[in-house]
A and B are shown apart, each in its own frame.
Chain A
Amino acid sequence: MEIEIKHACKRYGDTLVLEDFSLKLPQKGTVCFFGPSGCGKTTLLNCIAGLVKLDSGEISGVKGRRFSYLFQEDRLLPWISAQDNVAAVLRGGKKQTEAEAARWLRDVGLAGNEGKRPEELSGGMRQRVALARALAYGGEFFLLDEPFHALDEKTKSEVISLFQKKTPDTLRLFVTHDRHEAEQLADIIYVLQGPPLKIIKMITKF
């Protein structure tokens, strides 16, 4: 099922963030929304995630589907350990979810930090816990809002290749204002401007 945004409108106070915005997304691959801060990219992701309600228009192909959202901030539960944060999105017995969470943490390079709380980890490490949580939860598509901005170059490319390896055949919607990141990752790049959000250019790789 493809995700399609039809005539979406969204206003925040006096700012029209989405004005008759329409876009059809492919079934899989990495789609990058590239544009300056504050142009409405995050609002678009939030609308697709169903966290923000459109004033008018509709988004089809999302309802009932399982997806992971990697937010711009880590949004980890501050009161529990890294491992418990990942285990929190898993279903099943305590032992089983804990083992699975530990495995995901190891995959993102955080072995040995399972018992630490978010406040004991660096910003980059917290981002990776959030990534482990998203991967652990899985889903049919992934929403990523500048998730790698806190990582250094080396970790970033490691994490990105891991992410692509672990999520084959899914759709990854990816927001960034880093050109290099966009070019490295994306199959399709939408260059955006706004508000109101407008597609000014579409770049397809291959």
Chain B
Amino acid sequence: MIFTTKNKTTPYSRAAGKVLAVLFWVAVWQILYMIIRQEILIVSPARVMQRISELAVSGEFWTSALNSILHVLWGFFFGVAAGVLFAVLTSFSKALNDLFYPLLSMIKATPVVSFIILALVWIRSDHVPAFTAFLEVTPIVLGNVANGIAKTDCGLLQMARCYRFGVFRTVRRVYIPSVMPYFTAACTTGMGLAWKTAIAAEVLANTVLSIGGHIYDSKVYLETADLFAWTTVVILLSVILERMMVSLMKKIGKRYNVTL
């Protein structure tokens, strides 16, 4: 016998709700386009899709997308690694915490374009996007992970000490599960930030064969359709990469018995 449930949040209805929300905003976009009717200011959703499909048949499109993904991933991974490393160092040494505090505050407060322009002076321009993404991701991960370490239950740490867990077991059984939710939140924020930063750096550095490079060109030639198309590509890639990362995090969480 089949029972109908009154619970409306089945996976299907939730997915349908999400699709409807996206369609709603595309409709808003379409209406705005119909009111303004100037291709140089706003492009229709249909035109953007058409432009993307035109671009997607060229090899250059895929190389550019891949290059940008690589910029983002390099910056992201080194940022996460450095963030975790510094979080551990500064959490367990007050001297190091005091030493790095001003540097981190400085990095957080500096406008990202200043770093991009400085980095252009310092290093090869095709390394600038990953480098600046790295600079932006590091403090986010550091802050969140350090906060997670600080919020680890003292009672559990005392327990681990009494029962002589040792460093390895304390980290594995107490710290990692406690910090995991903070780390995941940091990675999600960091991934979005890495995209924004890397693309901004690509535009300013005008790196060849990258999404940012194409956005730069669209600005120079006032190709609003291209700007919309490449921006849409960035959004899609960013969402896909974030989803992949979240599911990876869930797998890692499971290993440490944490439901994320």
Contacts and interface: CB of A to CB of B under 8 A. Distances in A.
B158 A79 contact: no
Interface string A84-101: 100011000000000000
Given A73-B155, A75-B155, A75-B156, A68 B162 contact: yes
B161 interface: yes
A59 B206 CA distance: 69
Contact of B159 (A66, A67, A75, A84): A75
Contacts of A137: 163
Contact of B173 (A68, A71, A73, A88): A88
B165 interface: yes
Contacts of B155: 71, 73, 75
A77 B177 contact: yes
Contacts of A71: 155, 158-159
A77 B156 CA distance: 7
Contacts of A33: none
A68 B161 CA distance: 11
A133 to B, nearest CB: 8
Interface residues on A, range: 10 to 19
Tell me which of A50, A73, A79 has the highest count of chain B C-beta atoms within 10 A of its own C-beta: A79
B162 A80 contact: no
A184 B99 CA distance: 56
Contacts of B258: 79
A200 interface: no
B74 interface: no
A86 to B, nearest CB: 11
Contacts, number: 39
Interface string B245-258: 00000000000111
Most-contacted residue by chain A among B155, B158, B163, B165 (CB, 10 A): B163
A151 interface: no
A18 to B, nearest CB: 18
Contact of B256 (A66, A79, A89): A79
Interface residues of B, number: 16
A77 B162 contact: no
Given A71-B155, A73-B155, A75-B155, A51 B177 contact: no
A80 B159 contact: no
Contacts of B164: 66
Contacts of A67: 162
- DSSP class of A's interface residues: helix, strand, loop or mixed? loop
Contacts of A49: 162
Contacts of A88: 163, 165, 169, 173
Contacts of A75: 155-156, 158-159
A89 B174 CA distance: 13
Central interface residue in A50, A51, A137, by most chain B CB within 10 Å = A51
Nearest to B174: A77
A69 interface: yes
Contacts of A80: 173, 257
Contacts of B256: 79
A68 to B, nearest CB: 7
Interface in B125-179: 155-156, 158-159, 161-165, 169, 173-174, 177
Contacts of A69: 159, 162-163
A51 B159 CA distance: 9
A51 B173 contact: no
A85 B17 CA distance: 41
B151 to A, nearest CB: 14
B225 to A, nearest CB: 51
B181 to A, nearest CB: 11
A49 B161 CA distance: 10
B166 to A, nearest CB: 10
A15 B256 CA distance: 41
12 contacts: A49-B162, A50-B161, A68-B162, A71-B155, A73-B155, A75-B155, A79-B177, A79-B256, A79-B258, A88-B169, A88-B173, A133-B163
The 10 closest A-B pairs by CB, nearest first: A79-B257, A75-B159, A69-B162, A89-B163, A79-B177, A75-B155, A51-B158, A80-B257, A79-B258, A137-B163
Given A69-B162, A133-B163, 16 more contacts: A66-B164, A68-B162, A69-B163, A71-B155, A71-B159, A75-B155, A75-B159, A77-B177, A79-B256, A79-B258, A84-B257, A88-B163, A88-B165, A88-B169, A88-B173, A89-B165
